[in-house]
Copies of this chain bind each other. A is one copy, B any other.
């Protein structure tokens, strides 16, 4: 597949941002490609389009699947695995938030709980203990909050918070 200029620009940009988003360039590029393509692609096609090693594509697709950002589909009469991602940006957002929370927040919540359950916490300064407690509570609240927010539709969320309905309207999907 030959990318048209703007699509290429999008894919390359996504790749550059990948490292800031906690995934490597190739993973981000592949995701961008699947998203823009809007149809299942096989690994070979991805390899050629992006100009990276076939093995790299394989590994990256594995990682995308671990994020639930890509799934395998089969086309009739074709032995090869094909991959697709959701084209619903809100759906993608939810998956990314879930993935990041799992990688960036959950381990800390666990560690903080262990800190507070450890009898040695009694030896720490009162202020230190208090701040660790507060941090854990904050994390728990934020998790609850984000769960709640991801459950409801973004339009509802905007309305609830009294954010201008104008933007909200323009956002509503065509379907």
Contacts and interface: CB of A to CB of B under 8 A. Distances in A.
Interface of A: 4-7, 9-10, 13-14, 17, 20-22, 35-36, 38, 87, 89-90, 93, 103-104, 107-108, 111-112, 114-115, 118, 120-121, 123-125, 127-132, 134-135, 137-138, 140-142, 144-145, 148-149, 154, 157-158, 160-164, 167-168, 170-171, 173-174
Contact of A13 (B108, B120, B130, B149): B108
Contact of A104 (B21, B108, B112, B164): B21
Number of copies: 2
B135 A89 contact: yes
B6 A124 contact: yes
